[in-house]
A and B are shown apart, each in its own frame.
Chain A
Amino acid sequence: MSTDKGIDNMAGCRKPGVVDVCDEVQAESATALGTHGAAGTASTPNSIQSPVEKPVEKPVEIRDLGAGWAGWEVSLRGKTAVRLSGQDFFITGRPQPGMWVPKEGSTTALFIYKASNPKRVFRLDYHGLKSTAGRPVWHYNVTKGFAHIDGLKTTDHAVTAGSQATGRALTVFRWGGRALFVVGVGMSVYDVWHAERRAREVVRQVGGWTAGIAAGRYCARVGASGGAWLMGVLGQAGPQAAAPEELVTVPVGALVGGAAGGVGCGVVGMFVGTEVSESLYDWIFTPLEKEEWIVLGETE
């Protein structure tokens, strides 16, 4: 599973089968994230420098997003390694061991936490606040250690346009992915049940799902890379300061891009897979013409 591999690969940047967004994102997101080093060695935030002039910092590294349109759920709920300002972090959609979580679960949709200490965490949360008179809102929460370590200027309990957009996007993709998967399985079962030649339909569906998942997983990686790159570019369009949104947007862009790529290619792959499987089946198990089976019957 991609999640564990991503954790194991924290030490190295390039490994076989590992998506490494850092090089592509690096130049763009250096300024988008404010590029504050762990010791506060910030570059001039308003200047956009070329990668050649400023090659050292790698503020964001995202590796091994093994998502597909069937695997999207896995990528969101699993853990993904992220590197921010020279520190190893994980980004995940569900609480991890070491975090205090009640049995009924957490209201947090996104955790970015220090690899060595799950209690140093940046969260995207959804529940009522006193500042909103109890009305549930998407907002950011930051523990002391996280902000200190990363050097980012963040505001706790911050309700921003970015937190709202990020929370809604995550919700749509989270439930949209599940719904797509359930609908797809339901359609396959229906098709098999009502098929005149069930064996042929089963082969069609198996071929379609296999190709769909394979294509989805491949495109999810490409989409993750593209999504992170796009967020990095967009991050430069606004004020060049380190804001909570900019901490979240690049990883989330990778997740959303991965999901979009996975869904798109998954649908195409499914279509191609079913067509190819059907052709192969018909080629191998060619039905006899009437004259042929009459002749065969007479000879026996």
Chain B
Amino acid sequence: MDRAGRDGIAPRVTLVRGYHPLTPVPEAALQASLTARLAVVLDTASPDHDTLHFPAEVFLSLLAAATDTVTHDAVEVQADAENRYDNLDPFAAHLRAAAEDERLPPLRVLILHRRQLVIMEETEFWAFCGGPAPYGDSFTASFYTEPATAERLEQAIAAACARLRISIDARIQGADRPVPTWRRRLAGILPGRLGPSRPRSD
């Protein structure tokens, strides 16, 4: 894939390791003990486009790189509320066949091995609601893995970016664990029913 690819531009990328208070952590990732997060923040601003731009080919390449990082025997792509694919290829074909206006990243991608979730990609659609830096107006691919795999995944993503000749603008270190929002922190200091739920035994 050359730098421009089918998208015509090379987007800028920011990598975020860990969590921010606004991170919408998927419950499935936590249940599968995929506590390490690597977010690839894809900038949607482009001098070549006068609208928010989704670099579909870049996104697909990053997904492929992440998938190759781990041993797996199944991939499930949840494109939207109605469409699911059992592999990256049919999803990629669907994306490429769609008009440019219609292209959107999938809701999430589940990479499984022996029915166990090993990597989960959860897309954050900040492009539809703004949001704070570094996520504002972006399409962000949040990869959740086991901590032991995190380093390898980041290297694979960085290598994919280098292969696509995409510049990584910044690498940001977030918190190691999901950060409670100020509302949850406030609820934590309130007594009675407004207070936090009891901690889980696990």
- Pick from B84-92, B125-133, B144-152, B159-167 the stretch touching chain A: B125-133
Q: How far is the CB of B173 from chain A (nearest CB, A)?
A: 17
* A107 with B50: CB separation less than 8 A: no
Tell me which of B46, B49, B129 contacts A99 (CB under 8 A). B129
B22 in contact (CB, < 8 A)? yes
Take A102-B22, A130-B43, A157-B137 as given contacts and tell me if A142 and B131 are in contact as well, using a CB distance cutoff of 8 Å.
no
- The interface bits of chain B over 63-107 (1 if a CB of A lies within 8 angstroms of the residue's CB, else 0) are 000000000000000000000000000000000000011101000
Take A100-B129, A108-B130, A127-B136 as given contacts and tell me if A144 and B45 are in contact as well, using a CB distance cutoff of 8 Å.
no
* A103 with B130: CB separation less than 8 A: no
Chain B interface bracket (under 10, 10 to 19, 20 to 34, 35 or more): 20 to 34
When C-beta atoms are compared, the residue in chain B nearest to A155 turns out to be: B50
Take A107-B130, A107-B132 as given contacts and tell me if A125 and B137 are in contact as well, using a CB distance cutoff of 8 Å.
yes
* A100 with B125: CB separation less than 8 A: yes
Across-interface contacts of A134 in B (CB, < 8 A): 133
In the bound complex, how far is the Cα of B52 from the Cα of A134, in angstroms? 18
A286 in contact (CB, < 8 A)? no
B24 in contact (CB, < 8 A)? yes
Across-interface contacts of A107 in B (CB, < 8 A): 129-132, 136
When C-beta atoms are compared, the residue in chain B nearest to A101 turns out to be: B129
Across-interface contacts of B128 in A (CB, < 8 A): 99-101, 119, 121, 143
Across-interface contacts of A157 in B (CB, < 8 A): 45, 137
B38-60 residues with Cβ-Cβ distance < 8 A to A are 43-46, 49-53
B21 in contact (CB, < 8 A)? yes
Q: How far is the CB of B57 from chain A (nearest CB, A)?
A: 16
Take A102-B24, A119-B104, A130-B43 as given contacts and tell me if A153 and B130 are in contact as well, using a CB distance cutoff of 8 Å.
no
A210 in contact (CB, < 8 A)? no
B12 in contact (CB, < 8 A)? yes
B116 in contact (CB, < 8 A)? no
In the bound complex, how far is the Cα of B101 from the Cα of A16, in angstroms? 39
- The interface bits of chain B over 159-202 (1 if a CB of A lies within 8 angstroms of the residue's CB, else 0) are 00000000001000000000001010000000000000000000
In the bound complex, how far is the Cα of B126 from the Cα of A282, in angstroms? 60
When C-beta atoms are compared, the residue in chain A nearest to B50 turns out to be: A155
A147 in contact (CB, < 8 A)? yes
Can you report 12 residue pairs joining A to B where beta carbons are below 8 Å apart? A99-B128, A100-B125, A104-B21, A107-B130, A107-B132, A123-B130, A127-B136, A129-B45, A142-B50, A142-B52, A153-B50, A154-B50
Interface residues of chain B, those whose CB is within 8 Å of chain A, are: 12, 21-22, 24, 43-46, 49-53, 100-102, 104, 124-133, 136-137, 169, 181, 183
Q: Which A-B residue pairs are the 3 nearest by beta carbons?
A: A107-B130, A100-B125, A106-B129
